[in-house]
Amino acid sequence: MPTTTTQIQLLQPDDWHLHIRDGEVMKDVLADTARQFARAIIMPNLKPPVTTVSLASAYRARIEANLKSLGISDFTPLMTLYLTDNTSADEVRKAKAEGIAAFKLYPAGATTNSDAGVSDIKRCHSALEAMQAVGMPLLVHGEVTSSEIDIFDREAVFIDQVLEPLRQNFPELKIVFEHITTKQAAHYVRDAQTGGKNILAATITPQHLLMNRNAIFAGGIRPHNYCLPVLKREEHRLALIDVATSGNSRFFLGTDSAPHAKGAKEAACGCAGCYSAFNALGLYAEAFESVGKLDKLEGFASLFGPDFYSLPRNTKTVTLVKQAQNIPAELPLGDATIVPLRAGETIAWTLA
Ligand code: NCD
Ligand code: ZN
């Protein structure tokens, strides 16, 4: 009889794509992440966006103040800058010197708070050249924004129109294709030739490993399952599961946990973003267990990310136990509330 795993131990993971916002709500979401992860790549899509080293330093200081008030001393935010048409090569070099972890490319209008994003990547030539020269990773939101392109095709079209030419022009640039959602993206990253160099990777969210697009319309419209890039067909989910659980070091954990207050999601024009931070590790464990690959979770969650970013691996360990955790219907978010992923249901794995 096959034995069932009831407990797994991992080196402590990091979250390589996270939104924690700013102001009053930040401390509510930070605590959830810091319970599970040692470090997180902090997305810069604030209003206004974090476009300079000095804005990032101020944001880091606000994060550190919140961590202090929460009594958390073992969590490190890894700061990013928001790339614009006007980002200079000097700002890139300064960012490198100041320990900024990456730049983020949002095609203008692609997602939440991306209006100040890049209108045409050709405008970023000198900044990209500097990133390539200093080894600064570029994190890409990989969707074209043209309204004529079907929303379910925008990621695949981005590969042909933007990503492949970008890689041709900057063959040494370190790139993370963020929150991939399609078979095309999974296979593109898996099969790309990089001359043996560790310069191309992708992050994958728990929702894209666990759900397909039916989840947005199950018995009625489900705003809390709506994020960008939007969930895709089952064949795409299966392709993501396949690469995530394959042990290929190009694929690692990035929750894209993106908090929006309940009222901003349950609205005539609801915001994009799933709040997975409450028990993101449990969700990933479910996804890996569903294909009998729990043994591949540690690489994905804890090893491949730091290796890509040339950061040391964590040394502490965490233990996940197979014990159903009830997920609250709502959680506090400043003066409002937030509805977490799986609200009112259970997650099969819990952090010990
Ligand atoms: C993110 C957000 O709300 O900031 N939303 C989302 O649906 N993922 C932005 C993003 O990462 O695209
Ligand atoms: Zn995001």
Q: Domain extents for the chain?
A: 7-351
State the distance from the centre of ligand 2 to the C-alpha of 114, rounded, in angstroms: 11
Pocket lined around ligand 1, Cβ cut-off 6 Å: 19, 45, 111-113, 141, 227-228, 256, 258, 272-273
Give the three-state DSSP class for 265.
helix
State the distance from the centre of ligand 2 to the C-alpha of 133, rounded, in angstroms: 26
State the distance from the centre of ligand 1 to the C-alpha of 277, rounded, in angstroms: 13
Full DSSP string of 217-251:
STTS--GGG--SSPP--HHHHHHHHHHHTTT-TTE
Query: Which atom of ligand 1 approaches the CA of 141 most closely?
Result: 12
Question: So what's the pLDDT on residue 178?
Answer: 98
Mutate which of 18, 21, 22, 45 to test ligand 1's pocket (most atoms within 8 Å of Cβ)?
Answer: 45
Question: So what's the pLDDT on residue 338?
Answer: 98
Query: Which atom of ligand 1 approaches the CA of 111 most closely?
Result: 12
Query: Which atom of ligand 1 approaches the CA of 179 most closely?
Result: 11
Question: So what's the pLDDT on residue 158?
Answer: 98
Going residue by residue through the chain (352 aa), what tens digit of pLDDT does each one get? 556 889 999 999 999 999 999 999 999 999 999 999 999 999 999 999 999 999 999 999 999 999 999 999 999 999 999 999 999 999 999 999 999 999 999 999 888 888 889 999 999 999 999 999 999 999 999 999 999 999 999 999 999 999 999 999 999 999 999 999 999 999 999 999 999 999 999 999 999 999 999 999 999 999 999 999 999 999 999 999 999 999 999 999 999 999 999 999 999 999 999 999 999 999 999 999 999 999 999 999 999 999 999 999 999 999 999 999 999 999 999 999 999 999 999 999 999 9
Contact 259/19 with Cβ under 8 angstroms? yes
Question: So what's the pLDDT on residue 113?
Answer: 82
CATH number of 7-351: 3.20.20.140
Between CA 163 and CA 78, with CA 171 as vertex, the angle to 5 degrees is 75
For CA atoms 286, 230, 223, 139, the dihedral sign is positive
Out of 120, 256, 307, 335, which one is annotated catalytic? 256
Number of H helices, E strands in the chain: 13, 13
Contact 178/229 with Cβ under 8 angstroms? no
Question: So what's the pLDDT on residue 1?
Answer: 54
Verify whether residue 28 is a known catalytic residue.
Answer: no
